[in-house]
Structure 1
């Protein structure tokens, strides 16, 4: 009998949890002709969303919390190598590429990256298809962390 009551309680609790909306799922249309393949997301201090992609682009999205029809995408940077981690630190975009952690600078304020500063790149890459760098969470002290895959060779 106790097991039956526990099962009933768990099932009723589960339905309650699923009835709550802890976050909102928004579907939007990416820029025409683009496949985003998102690798990292973070927000700028002004609320715009920054998105890095496996294809080496960084997009800035205006209006990410409004109506998806009103979202505006602008290409901030391109030519990066598999940006699979992103963190905005003090308003500056940091992207974790396959072979380095980079800080992207918009020196002239035109909304495009003018300069890429290498922050770290001392982990070596052999060229194996399975070597990736992921993540970029920041702890309370401001340290950035990444995860590195190793090759199967």
Structure 2
């Protein structure tokens, strides 16, 4: 009897898993002339997508859940050293660069980074990264 119940449970669970779409893949075109080699992704509290890139940029994408044709990109920060990861904490963008963990601030609310605060940088960096 136990085996029958386990089989029924597994079969019903299996059909549930296959009927669900765990995530949606959306393809979108970056701004003209830009190559987005994304190292980190997260969402701001208002639903905008934030992307850090290997080329040292942080982009904010408006409308990531809608039609890809309606997405708008804005450059939030540039000049970072390889944005290898990104997390939004309490609405503030944190980026892991090669040499430091940074907190990016938009002090005047214009949608551009005004100040980069070092959170941590107590690890060695050399040219031998392989």
Distance 1:11 1:129 in 2: 48
Q: Output one character per residue of 1:92-131: Cα deviation in whole Å (capped at 9) or x when no partner.
A: 000000000000001111100010000000011012233x
SS in 2 for 1:12: helix
The residue that corresponds to 1:84 in the other structure is 84
Contiguous gaps of at least 5 residues in structure 2: none
Please say if 1:58 is aligned against 2:63: no
Compute the TM-score of the two structures, normalised by the length of structure 2. 0.86
1:20 offset after TM fit, Å?
3.3
After superposition, the Cα gap between the structure-2 partners of 1:15 and 1:33, relative to the gap in structure 1 and judged at 3 Å, is farther
Report the count of equivalent residues: 130
Summarize the Cα distance change of 1:67–1:80 in structure 2 as closer, same or farther, 3 Å threshold: same
Does residue 1:119 correspond to 2:119, yes or no? Answer: yes
TM-score by length of 1: 0.73
RMSD of Structure 2 on Structure 1 (CA) = 2.7
